[in-house]
Amino acid sequence: MKALSLVVATAVMSICISANARGVQDADAAKVADCTFIKDVSAVTPSGYTRTALGAAMETARAEAAKAGATHIVWNKVDSVNVTSVSGKAYRCGSSK
Q: 2-92 has which fold?
A: Translation Initiation Factor IF3 (3.30.110)
pLDDT tens-place string over residues 23-69: 999 999 999 999 999 999 999 988 877 889 989 999 999 999 999 99
pLDDT of 96 over the 70 cut? no
pLDDT of residue 40: 98
pLDDT of residue 42: 96
Strand ranges across the sheet with 72-75: 25-26, 72-75, 85-92, 36-44
Contact criterion met (CB below 8 Å) for 56 and 87: no
